[in-house]
């Protein structure tokens, strides 16, 4: 799977791609969620081989994101509010890394999967930070030999059928951010469990669970560019203290 794939530039709509997939493979959705920030379909009794085939048939040039857990497959199509919040959080992470002098490799919604665990997931966004030197020149991700992303982002996500946090736990992702407007949660992997944290161990233990929601809300009042400037000013103040 190539890291540089674009999830937003697509030749056909995600819904159209999904309809073609269902018709082609004669799969019936078990659950269709009502559209809020995203809409999704849950498919049951899907083999790993079928999951791999679906990934290949849907291709990289799409906005849909998949999660697979022991035969249950979720196909999620994000809507505009979801994508807006995701992009803003990505911008804040870029600024955090720059201000704190941290190299990072952005890997977007790269497919993270391991057949031996019968699990796979495409996060809203992902980053290599601690392992950036190891992954800097990699063009493909193979979790049988490569480390998982150091940080993954999930935005406005709830599912009763597929627990993405448990998939990330099985894959060994060290840090997960979940933003469910207006609440931000940070989970750090400790002793094989995720522990909720008020601060990010990756970013100088800054109180991001309170500050990121604040700045996202501020962007609605003053605009994205002005919000980014305000965020950078706040970071400089934190560094000075």
Domain boundaries, the chain: 80-240
Spatial CA neighbour of 95 closest among 237, 239, 217, 228: 228
Tokens 């979801």 -> residue: 82
Helix, coil or strand: residue 45: coil
CB count, 10 Å around CB of 6?
12
Residue 7: partners with Cβ closer than 8 Å, 6 or more residues away: 62, 63, 65, 108, 109
Tens-place pLDDT, residues 6-50: 333 333 444 454 555 555 555 555 555 444 556 889 999 999 999
Q: Cα-flanking dihedrals φ and ψ of residue 123, to 5°?
A: -70, 165
Question: What are 66's two structure tokens?
Answer: 């998949």
User: How far apart (Å, rounded) are the C-alpha atoms in residues 135 and 119?
Assistant: 22
User: 88 Cβ partners below 8 Å, 6+ apart?
Assistant: 216, 219, 224, 227
Nearest of 135, 126, 79 to residue 107 by alpha carbon: 126
Rounded distance between C-alpha atoms, residue 89 and residue 74, angstroms = 24
150: DSSP letter: S
Coil, strand or helix at 177: strand
Q: What is the pTM of this model?
A: 0.86
Q: Report the top-level CATH class of 80-240.
A: alpha beta
Rounded Cα distance between 155 and 179, Å, is 5
What does the pLDDT profile of the chain (241 residues) look like in tens digits?
Answer: 434 343 333 334 444 545 555 555 555 555 554 445 568 899 999 999 999 999 999 998 888 999 999 999 999 999 899 999 999 999 999 999 999 999 999 999 999 999 999 999 999 999 999 999 999 999 999 999 999 999 999 998 666 679 999 999 999 999 999 999 999 999 999 999 999 999 999 999 999 999 999 999 999 999 999 999 999 999 999 999 8
Residues 111 and 60: their CA atoms lie apart, in Å, by: 10
């Amino acid at each position: 799977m190539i890291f540089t794939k674009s999830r937003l530039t697509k030749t056909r709509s995600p819904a159209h791609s999904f309809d073609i997939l269902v018709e082609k493979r004669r799969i019936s959705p078990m659950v269709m969620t009502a559209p809020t920030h995203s809409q999704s379909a849950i498919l049951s009794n899907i083999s790993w081989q079928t999951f791999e085939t679906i990934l290949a048939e849907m291709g990289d040039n799409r906005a849909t994101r998949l999660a697979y857990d022991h035969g249950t497959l979720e196909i999620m199509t994000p809507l505009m509010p979801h994508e807006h919040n995701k992009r803003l959080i990505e911008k804040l992470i870029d600024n955090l890394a720059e201000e704190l002098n941290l190299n990072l490799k952005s890997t977007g919604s790269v497919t993270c999967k391991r057949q031996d665990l019968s699990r796979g997931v495409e996060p809203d966004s992902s980053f290599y930070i601690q392992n950036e030197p190891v992954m800097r020149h990699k063009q493909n991700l193979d979790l049988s030999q490569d480390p998982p992303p150091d940080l993954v982002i999930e935005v406005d996500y709830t599912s009763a059928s597929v627990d993405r946090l448990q998939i990330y736990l099985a894959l060994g992702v060290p840090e997960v951010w979940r933003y469910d407007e207006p609440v931000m949660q940070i989970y750090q992997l400790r002793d094989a469990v995720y522990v909720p944290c008020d601060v990010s161990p990756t970013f100088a233990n800054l109180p991001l669970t309170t500050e990121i929601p604040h700045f996202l809300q501020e962007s609605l009042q003053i605009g994205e560019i002005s919000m980014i400037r305000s965020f950078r000013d706040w970071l400089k103040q934190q560094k000075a203290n």
